[in-house]
């Protein structure tokens, strides 16, 4: 796990998924683990974030909400609804079709002798274990529904690039991977996962796993890769699957969510967001070199950069001194940057959250991720110390109301939106 790419909530959830239960006793961090669970590298990661973990657990009552009713397995001989987030993606797919960019993909470099049959067997086992990967989403009587298909096997499409001159292979690979990652899915045809393997040399491969976002998210991709590794190693030596059966599936969560997140519970969470975002600006006006397009093109990109070890250490120390997490400190800094360049004193930042704050769903593949709108106010020209306090309080209370899907918040607020 890349310790620098997840916020503290996701890191703690991931630890629990590895069988590492953490709690605090005053200023001490306590870990309950099975023997051999913590590797030296993982021990180092926990040590680096120890102060951050302690602060978070103290401020959130151990980080997990224990008041949720349990999710129970339901009979499959009934109409299975989509989760709220799935329904939104289904609607966007119907509205925009192949233009919608909701596809998750991951490219894995493989070096050495590859057993393709064992790899196919491992992928088939994962698809059969996780119902959501063999689920389609047809329309019945005007509304979408989940249809879970029987167990099946998957065949990996192998593309041999060895016949091309070696200097051209990487270029051809990048072009074909990009095409694979942007090829749309038909939501009415299962499975909504594709696997393609490119062979660059006798012992050099690239495996690309592609899933529609309606059945997956970033956390799910991590589960998929971890389970694929364990199953492949087992099947290469003729051993049985080391993975246990799942007590519940994503379809169980979807129905549970619709039954639980309703009535007074939904109104309470929505009322918080209505109050928190009342009067918020609808658009951030940045002095860009090009005008904002009227219609979204989905041709955006990302910029990656690294902070020096020295600067990271100073940021971590600042976080400890102010009682915030590193995520909160960086969020405050980013908000300040947007304030400076936009001239707006009211800044909204959309922040993804894994939304797996109950143990039952941590090991499931599926679309759980949610987006929280975190608001930062610069009206009274706060000092950075005051800003950190504001961001900490805003973030923590937002976490307490993370269950209501972003699309329902938008529907409740009815902001003016462009296409």
Q: Which of 22, 45, 60 is the last residue of a domain?
A: 60
> How many residues in the chain?
419
Domain that holds residue 54: 3-60
Over the stretch 133-166, which tens digit does the pLDDT of each residue have? 999 999 998 899 999 999 988 899 999 999 999 9
pLDDT digits (tens, 9 = 90+) for 37-79: 678 888 888 888 887 787 766 554 444 455 678 999 999 999 9
* In a shared domain, residues 189 and 235: yes
pLDDT attached to residue 56:
67
Classify residue 288: in a domain, yes or no.
no
Which residues face 383 on adjacent strands?
A: none
Residue 34 pLDDT: 67
Closest CA relative to residue 91, chosen from 214, 194, 193, 189: 214
Domain total in the chain: 3
Q: Tell me the percentage of the chain whose pLDDT exceeds 90.
A: 64
CATH number at residue 36: 1.10.10
Beta partners for 111?
204
In the three-class reduction of DSSP (H, G, I as helix; E, B as strand; rest coil), residue 33 is classed as coil
312 and 381 fall within a common domain: yes
Report the predicted TM-score, pTM, of the whole model to 2 decimal places.
0.82
Show contacts of 394-401: CB within 8 Å, 24+ apart. Answer: 394/276, 395/327, 395/328, 395/331, 396/59, 396/60, 397/272, 397/276, 398/276, 398/372, 398/373, 398/374, 399/9, 399/60, 399/353, 399/372, 400/65, 401/269, 401/272, 401/273
Cβ distance 375 to 277 under 8 Å?
A: yes
| End-of-domain residue from the set 207, 225, 248 | 248
Is the residue at 147 inside a domain?
yes
The answer to whether the CB of 164 falls within 8 A of the CB of 221 is no
Closest CA to 359 of 267, 204, 259, 246: 246
Helices (H), 184-249: 218-236
CATH code, 109: 3.30.559.10
Residue 180 located in a structural domain: yes
Residues in the chain with pLDDT values less than 50? 1-5, 60-64
Instruction: Confirm whether 291 is domain-assigned.
Output: no
Domain shared by 240 and 91, yes or no: yes
- Residue 297, pLDDT score: 75
Do 238 and 130 share a structural domain? yes
**Pairing outcome for strands 157-160 and 147-148:** unpaired
- What pLDDT does residue 3 have? 44
Pair 234, 242: CB distance under 8 Å: yes
pLDDT of amino acid 64: 46
Same domain? For 55 and 92 the reply is: no
CATH code of residue 336:
3.30.559.30
Count of alpha carbons within 13 Å of 71, Cβ hemisphere only? 22
What integer pLDDT is reported at residue 5 of this predicted model? 41
DSSP 371: E
At residue 350, the pLDDT reads 95
Asked if residue 212 and residue 91 are part of one domain, the reply reads: yes
Do 182 and 212 reside in the same domain of the chain?
A: yes
CB within 8 Å of 354: residues ≥ 6 apart: 9, 10, 13, 217, 218, 219, 368, 369
Q: Are residues 275 and 404 in the same domain?
A: yes
Domain assignment of residue 419, yes or no: no
pLDDT at position 95 is 86
pLDDT at 35: 62
Looking up tokens 């990302």 gives: 302
Specify the DSSP class assigned to residue 240. P
Treating both helix axes as pointing N-terminal to C-terminal, what angle do 384-400 and 50-60 enclose, rounded to 10 degrees?
60
Is residue 113 located within the same domain as residue 43? no
> Do 95 and 240 belong together in one domain?
yes
In a domain, 297, yes or no: no
How would you write 168-196 as a 3-class SS string? Answer: HHHHHHHHHHHHHHHCCCCCCCCCCEEEE
Q: 347 and 268 share a domain?
A: yes
């Amino acid at each position: 796990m890349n310790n620098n790419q997840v916020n503290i909530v996701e890191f703690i959830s991931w630890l629990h998924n590895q069988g590492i239960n953490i709690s605090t006793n005053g200023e001490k961090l306590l870990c309950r683990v099975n023997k051999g669970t913590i590797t030296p590298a993982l021990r180092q990661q926990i040590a680096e974030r120890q102060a951050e973990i302690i602060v978070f657990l103290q401020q959130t009552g151990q980080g997990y909400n224990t008041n949720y009713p349990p999710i129970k397995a339901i009979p499959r001989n009934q109409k299975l609804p989509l989760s709220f987030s799935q329904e939104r993606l289904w609607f966007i797919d119907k509205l925009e079709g192949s233009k919608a960019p909701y596809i998750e993909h991951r490219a894995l470099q493989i070096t050495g002798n590859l057993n393709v049959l064992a790899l196919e067997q491992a992928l088939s086992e994962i698809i059969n274990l996780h119902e959501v990967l063999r689920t389609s989403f047809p329309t019945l009587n005007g509304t979408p529904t989940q249809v879970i298909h029987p167990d099946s096997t998957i065949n990996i499409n192998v593309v041999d690039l060895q016949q091309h001159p070696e200097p051209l292979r990487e270029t051809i690979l990048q072009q074909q991977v990009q095409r694979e990652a942007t090829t749309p899915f038909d939501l009415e045809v299962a499975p909504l996962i594709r696997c393609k393997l490119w062979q660059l040399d006798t012992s050099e491969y690239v495996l690309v796993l592609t899933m529609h976002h309606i059945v997956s998210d970033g956390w799910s991709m991590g589960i998929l890769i971890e389970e694929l590794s364990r199953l492949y190693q087992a099947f290469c030596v003729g051993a049985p699957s080391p993975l246990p059966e799942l007590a519940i599936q994503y379809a169980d969560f979807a129905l549970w969510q619709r039954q639980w997140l309703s009535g007074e519970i939904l109104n309470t969470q929505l009322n918080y967001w209505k109050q928190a975002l009342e009067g918020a600006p609808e658009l951030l006006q940045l002095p860009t070199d090009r005008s904002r397009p009227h219609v979204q093109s989905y041709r955006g990109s990302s910029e990656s950069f690294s902070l020096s070890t020295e600067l990271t250490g100073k940021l971590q120390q600042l976080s400890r001194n102010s009682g915030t997490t590193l995520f909160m400190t960086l969020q405050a800094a980013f908000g300040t940057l947007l304030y400076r360049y936009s001239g707006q004193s009211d800044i909204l930042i959309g922040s993804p959250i894994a939304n797996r704050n109950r143990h039952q769903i941590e090991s499931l593949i599926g679309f759980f991720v949610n987006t929280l709108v975190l608001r930062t106010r610069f009206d009274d020209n706060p000092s950075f110390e005051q800003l950190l306090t504001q961001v900490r309080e805003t973030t923590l209370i937002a976490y307490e109301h993370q269950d209501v899907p972003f699309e329902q918040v938008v529907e409740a607020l009815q902001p003016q939106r462009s296409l």
